[in-house]
């Protein structure tokens, strides 16, 4: 069992480049992938999405991928030689025309940034595809470990709640037996000559209070819920479905048998179901 929340990261660095990937996952009813990629890797978006879909079935997954030069800069400076030639000719023309003295030197160029052009080094991201996917896989593996750790905690808590629900079910089973014995006494034939019409009506009304079938179904749902919580496969949706069935049985039991003892255990059971439901919303 895995939680839908977690965090993972991975970094790869060599002499020329550094690639860093951070992955965060949050609760979501389905799989929702959000990518933040540098311009160089936009062509790899679908490949990265596919890697995520292979590992994760449910949750909002946010991926942040950064690429930088490990040493030096990712930009280059280029001198605009034609513009520099015009600049020097213009200065010499002014010097000659007005009889100015002095020597032209490099310091003049350093004060004129418009004489230089800055270029981003073009990178073919597709050529780095194997490397990028390797780092993404490592980050997803780290994320999965985080989700499994949190999933173990969620499993333990839900198993504890299911254990309590089985105790509630045992109490309801005893109450069902009490109700059945009461109904049996009501249905006994009266002594000859003492027929009481109202007794039959009371017995018929109390037949609605027979909760044996609901208790049996409740036990079955709890058994299946226990089995599901032990599974290593994604179980969140299955758990939510079984909780709906458990809740339905509690509602039916509460409606059919409004006795104080039954109502008390029905309320206890519903409270535990809600606690499990809150945790199940975090499970993949």
- 11-25, 83-97, 263-277: range with highest mean pLDDT: 263-277
**Domain 151-280 CATH class label:** mainly alpha
- 18-32, 57-71, 115-129: range with highest mean pLDDT: 18-32
Q: Which among 242, 252, 247, 244 has a CA at the least distance from the CA of 221?
A: 242
Position 76 confidence tier, pLDDT thresholds 50, 70, 90? confident
User: What's the burial of 65, exposed, middle or buried (CB within 10 Å: 0-12/13-18/19+)?
Assistant: buried
Judge whether 65 and 33 are in contact, CB under 8 Å.
no
Question: Mean pLDDT across the stretch 118-128?
Answer: 68
The pLDDT tens digits of the residues spanning 169-221 come to 999 999 988 888 877 776 666 655 555 555 555 555 455 568 999 999 999 99
User: What integer pLDDT is reported at residue 16 of this predicted model?
Assistant: 75
Distances (CA, A) of 78 to 62, 112, 186: 38, 13, 103
Domain covering 6-72+126-146: architecture:
2-Layer Sandwich (3.30)
Average pLDDT of the chain, as a whole number: 86
Q: How do the domains of the chain map onto residue ranges? A: 6-72+126-146, 75-120, 151-280
Query: What whole-number distance in Å separates Cα of residue 16 and Cα of residue 29?
Result: 41
User: What integer pLDDT is reported at residue 248 of this predicted model?
Assistant: 96
The pLDDT tens digits of the residues spanning 211-261 come to 999 999 999 999 999 999 998 888 889 999 999 999 999 999 999 888 889
Total residue length of the chain: 284
Query: What whole-number distance in Å separates Cα of residue 46 and Cα of residue 279?
Result: 32
The two three-digit tokens of residue 149, written as one number: 């750790």
User: What integer pLDDT is reported at residue 3 of this predicted model?
Assistant: 92
User: What integer pLDDT is reported at residue 119 of this predicted model?
Assistant: 61
Does residue 13 carry a pLDDT above 60?
A: yes
């Amino acid at each position: 069992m895995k939680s839908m929340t977690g965090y993972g990261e991975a970094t790869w660095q060599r002499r020329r480049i550094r690639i860093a990937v951070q992955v965060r996952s949050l609760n979501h009813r389905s799989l929702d992938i959000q990518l933040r990629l540098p311009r160089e890797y936009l062509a790899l978006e679908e490949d990265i999405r596919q890697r995520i879909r292979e590992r994760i079935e449910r949750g909002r997954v946010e991926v942040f991928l950064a690429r930088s030069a490990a040493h030096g800069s990712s930009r280059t400076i280029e001198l605009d030689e034609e513009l520099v030639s015009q600049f020097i000719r213009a200065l010499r023309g002014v010097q000659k025309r007005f009889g100015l003295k002095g020597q032209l030197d490099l310091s003049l160029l350093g004060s004129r940034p418009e004489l230089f052009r800055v270029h981003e080094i073009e990178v073919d991201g597709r050529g780095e595809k194997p490397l990028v996917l390797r780092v993404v896989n490592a980050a997803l593996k780290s994320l999965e470990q985080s989700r499994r750790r949190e999933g173990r905690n969620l499993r333990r808590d839900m198993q504890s709640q299911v254990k309590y629900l089985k105790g509630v079910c045992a109490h309801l089973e005893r109450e069902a037996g009490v109700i059945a014995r009461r109904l049996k006494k009501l249905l006994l034939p009266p002594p000859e000559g003492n027929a009481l019409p109202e007794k039959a009506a009371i017995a018929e009304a109390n037949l609605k209070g027979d909760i044996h079938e609901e208790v049996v179904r409740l036990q079955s749902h709890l058994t299946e819920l226990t089995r599901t919580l032990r599974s290593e496969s994604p179980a969140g949706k299955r758990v939510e479905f079984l909780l709906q069935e458990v809740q339905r049985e509690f509602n039916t039991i509460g409606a059919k048998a409004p006795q104080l003892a039954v109502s008390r255990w029905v309320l206890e059971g519903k409270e535990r179901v809600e606690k499990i439901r809150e945790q199940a919303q975090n499970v993949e």
